[in-house]
């Protein structure tokens, strides 16, 4: 029931050490939290706010990857694109009156984020930080992009 909807709280274990990315990730958590808590009458607005955030958030990271020759860019960019595609589908479903699918999306985003941040964004954050400090070798913690399917 909507009454017992849990929110999504920021946790410092999400910090990756790249200030701009960390700020964006705090905003991600806030927008998903708002989506989880929004009453039905405000869902469309909360979903639009999340969609705007996601376009900017993923666009920023995609731009960093493309602009810096990041070696694992394809998997990461692809994962962003899949999330955005789902958001667009859910916006269409909501326009047709389906509010439950929005709740499902919010829950899925809350489940998705820690793993994405941990495996994909953390590698990018490390890459960006190393680049700006003179380029030490990178250690990737995940070799495949299939494990979140």
Q: Which spans of this chain sit near Fe ion (rule: CB under 5 A)?
A: 61, 121
Nearest distance from C-beta of residue 57 to Fe ion, angstroms: 6
Q: Which is nearer to Fe ion, 102 or 128 (CB)?
A: 128
Nearest distance from C-beta of residue 41 to Fe ion, angstroms: 30
| Residue closest to Fe ion when measured from CB atoms | 121
Nearest distance from C-beta of residue 80 to Fe ion, angstroms: 6
The 10 Å CB-count burial string (b at 16+, else e) for 7-24 is ebeeeeebbbebeebbeb
Going from the C-alpha of 104 to that of each of 1, 13, 86, 93, the distances in angstroms are: 12, 24, 11, 12
Q: Confirm if 122 and 142 have CB atoms less than 8 A apart.
A: no
Q: Which is nearer to Fe ion, 101 or 145 (CB)?
A: 145
């Amino acid at each position: 029931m909507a009454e017992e909807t849990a929110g999504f709280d920021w946790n410092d274990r999400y910090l990756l050490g790249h200030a701009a990315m960390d700020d964006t990730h705090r905003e991600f958590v806030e927008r998903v939290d708002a989506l989880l808590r929004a009453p039905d009458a405000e869902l469309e607005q909360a979903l639009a706010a999340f969609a705007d955030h996601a376009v900017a958030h993923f666009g920023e990271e995609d731009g960093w990857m493309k602009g810096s020759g990041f070696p694992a860019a394809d998997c990461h960019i692809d994962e962003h694109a899949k999330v955005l595609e789902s958001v667009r589908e859910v916006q269409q479903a909501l326009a047709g009156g389906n509010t439950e699918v929005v709740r499902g999306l919010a829950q899925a985003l809350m489940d998705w984020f820690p793993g994405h941040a941990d495996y994909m964004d953390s590698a990018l954050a490390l890459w960006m930080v190393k680049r700006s400090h003179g380029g030490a070798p990178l250690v990737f913690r995940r070799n495949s992009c299939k494990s979140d399917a």
